[in-house]
Amino acid sequence: MPLVANSNLPAFERLREEGETVIPSSVAVHQDIRELHIGLLNMMPDAALEATERQFFRLIGESNQIAQFYIHPFTIDALPRGEKGQAHIAQYYESFAQIKAEGLDALIITGANVTQPDLAQEPFWQPLIEVIDWAYANVTSTLCSCLATHAVMQFRYGQKRQRLPAKRWGVYPHRVVDKWHPLVNGVNTRFDVPHSRFNEISREQFETAGLHVLAESEEANGHLAVSEDGFRLVFFQGHPEYDTISLLKEYKREVGCFVRKERDDYPPFPDNYFTQQIQAVLTEYRYRLQKALEKGDTVPEFPEGLITASLDNTWHDTGEAIINHWMGHVYQITNIDRRKPFKDEIDPANPLGL
């Protein structure tokens, strides 16, 4: 929760200049502890649908222990779904029409499964544009994750993602490049973020589009960026929402693809994720697996139970802190009526006073 400038003490202005949230008394007296309504546009495939819900719900729920968060999941009808996924959505999700009618304080858009060489050919393309355009006009801030970042950069800013020579996969160190911006003010200046993608938007592309990069990695390029006004659109290329075991599960799936001959090569280890001990266990497993395949024997069970307890999570606390800052500023910019900013106190074109 923010500081209230209840006097003309110069320290308040100095803290505001350094990126701290300091609100005038005239705003504070109109605020009550209230709910925030967060939309989650979940475009992930059926296999990851519920795990993605839990990951983002966890980040939001742990970010602030005062505000009450109401999460409103919805999806895009054009996305292909199996029977189980359709049933889950029918029972628990809202429609976009409902979302528009009720309004949101903030919106998170997940990644999606990509099958076409150009994102504009994907079935989610036009519906996603509709959601983004509506949110830009009606929602205080929208956070785009991974593929959603790439899509918005293409259709809104004319910057197409670039194919990488090999999949960027693992946990990478990042550095804050603008420590005064309110989203990263006070967080660790160096922190890790998981990545899992074949394409990227470079820092140069973000800056060419007039956007502001807040955190980047020498190995993984730009991770966190914001729109021209500093807040309306927030872009993640990495996955701070990932669970400790998310990359392990992904590695296990890739091993399964190798077994089923859906990929020709045995998957490499994700970068900077497995300890040497875990790598030794998995190397031994690979040897036994390939021997079994050669002889036509039963495939040995993947040694997940031997690995899980030894995995480290070096990203969640910073991801949580950034989401906390994001939620905090959404809370300050919207009033108890939600969707309506404090027009007398906040400039919608520059809500953070940057």
Per residue, the 3-state secondary structure of 285-337, as one string, reads HHHHHHHHHHHCCCCCCCCHHHHHHHCCCCCHHHHHHHHHHHHHHHHHHEECC
Structure token digits, residue 250: 């992904």
- Choosing from 37, 53, 122, 146, the catalytic residue is 146
- Choosing from 239, 316, 325, 329, the catalytic residue is 239
Name every residue whose Cβ is closer than 8 Å to that of residue 52 and which is 6 or more positions away in sequence: 42, 44, 110, 241
Beta bridge partners of 200: 162
- Choosing from 53, 122, 216, 241, the catalytic residue is 241
For residue 260, give the 3-state DSSP assignment: coil
Active site residue 144: no
Report the distance separating Cα 217 and Cα 168, nearest Å.
12
Q: Give the total residue count for the chain.
A: 354
Q: Identify the DSSP state of 213.
A: E
Closest CA to 349 of 206, 241, 230: 230
- Give residue 186's region: left, alpha or beta (phi > 0; psi -120 to 50): left
Report the distance separating Cα 321 and Cα 307, nearest Å.
28
Active site residue 146: yes
Looking up tokens 């960026």, which residue turns up?
225
In contact, 210 and 228? CB cutoff 8 Å:
yes
Active site residues per annotation:
146, 239, 241
